[in-house]
Structure 1
Amino acid sequence: MATNQEEVSLLGVTGSPFVCRVQIALKLKDIEYKFLEENLGNKSELLLKYNPVHKKVPVFVHNEKPIAESLVIVEYIDETWNQNPILPSDPYQRALARFWSKFIDDKVVSAAWKAVFTVDEKEREKNSEESWEALQFLENEIKDKKFLGGEEIGLVDIAAVFIAFWIPIFQEVGGLELFTSDKFPKLYKWSQELINHSVVKEVLPPRDPLFAYFKARYESLSASK
């Protein structure tokens, strides 16, 4: 647990997969923190002060020291609090975990988003294919492990919460088949393990309001065609 001398707060918005990553890490480590809900339409002075470069959430603040970018924050949390390690101790395995986490951000997150929330049909198709290709790499990588990190949740699983929870909402909103149990049986099984894990389950945002939010966004996009 974070001691009373330590001030830990998180600037974020409910429903963000990137904020959720940090919340999972904090929950795994059993660290108490203050959650400061941001309004991204009217960003607080605190957010602009703590993250002047990107002006985005999440921002993690530990004893008045701000850190931005979700994967950087998760690594910082892991290095600062020793209990329940998130990254492997072996340098090679740790490097691999960083590689796959970055792969998820570079190859899966933006492609899956654009596959649904892009007006141009060709662009949608291109991004759907890119999503399938990227997910296939992860399908091959998981092999017979329970989690992408092994038997316990690790950095890659935390990064991939976007795949397990957000992509199924996106595909339902857009009527697409991006991530199904037929196409990716091992990864789909992993996704069910992850979203039903006691720690993850506790910090995932409620699905219905999130679905309604993305549905409205999708419909306004379709109307603008």
Structure 2
Amino acid sequence: MTDEVKLYGAAASPTVFRVKIALNMKGIKYENVEEDLANKSADLLKYNPVHKKVPVLVHNGNPIAESLVIVEYIDDVWKGVPILPEDPYERALARFWAKFIDDKCMPAAFGVFGSNGDEQVVAEACEQLQILENELEFKGTKFFGGDDINIVDIAADFLAYWLGTLEEVAGIKFVTKEKFPRITEWGDNFIKCQIVKEILPSREYLLDVFKKRFGKG
């Protein structure tokens, strides 16, 4: 039986991109369903009635919502390149850091642009990112996953690519090489990964999306 896999998403979304990376790592063919988030489809609302947002993965008719939940599901269902560590302790640590990025780092970083660079908001974002910087320094590895990316790197995709584009559009720069050398180096390595590079949305496309969102298009 051939798996039927559909991904309901939006090309400019870093959380949707997490799922695309996981699918690409496993070599899974899928139908990409691009959603207009200003006019969500009946399917999206049916498949994710709780949050009513992307991404949603539909596998053989069964919907799964929330990006990190989907990434774990993909790792459980399809073998091949592992996304989470096999060791139970390392697996728990990876889940911890992925959740920290999702719950703390991403909202704090994106909050900077919503606040127009408010000093306190910037300071709070830098505080969260410094924790990640320290973890990379402590690990001393190329990626959070070691020599190869894992779920923690996937969770942090917005830091590697989306954040710089937002900084350019908003005219607010707070993640610098001087302040966060390990995060910067990690981000450069991350977007050079073949599995990531070959499916990244173009920078021009993201710039256009964010300029419209910030009323600068």
- Whether these two folds match at TM > 0.5 is yes
Q: How far 1:59 sits from its partner (Å)? A: 0.2
Secondary structure of the 1:88 match is coil
Structure 2 equivalent of residue 25 of structure 1: 22
Aligned residue among 174, 178, 181 for 1:178:
174
Q: CA deviation at 1:52?
A: 0.6
Question: Normalising to structure 2: TM-score of the pair?
Answer: 0.94
What is the Cα deviation at residue 156 of structure 1? Answer: 0.3
Matched, 1:142 2:136: yes
Aligned-partner SS, 1:28? helix
Percent of aligned positions that are identical? 53
Q: What is the alpha-carbon root mean square deviation over aligned residues?
A: 1.3
Tell me whether 1:193 sits opposite 2:182 in the alignment: no
Aligned residue in 2 for 1:94: 91
SS in 2 for 1:104: helix
Unaligned regions of 5+ residues in structure 2, if any? none
Q: Which runs of at least 4 in structure 1 moved beyond 3 Å after TM superposition?
A: none
Where does residue 5 of structure 2 map in the other structure? 8
Report how far residue 209 of structure 1 moved.
2.0
Query: Who is 1:133 aligned against?
Result: 127
Unpaired segments ≥5 residues, structure 1: 221-225
Q: Deviations over 1:139-197 (max 9, x none)?
A: 11112201011111100000000111111112122222221111111111110000111
Determine the C-alpha separation between the residues in 2 that align with 1:36 and 1:215.
24
Secondary structure of 1:15 counterpart? coil
Count of residues in correspondence between the two structures: 214
Give me the whole-angstrom Cα distance separating, in 2, the residues matched to 1:133 and 1:172: 21
> Aligned partners of 2:31, 2:209: CA distance in 1, in Å?
25
User: Is contact 1:115-1:126 (8 Å) kept?
Assistant: no
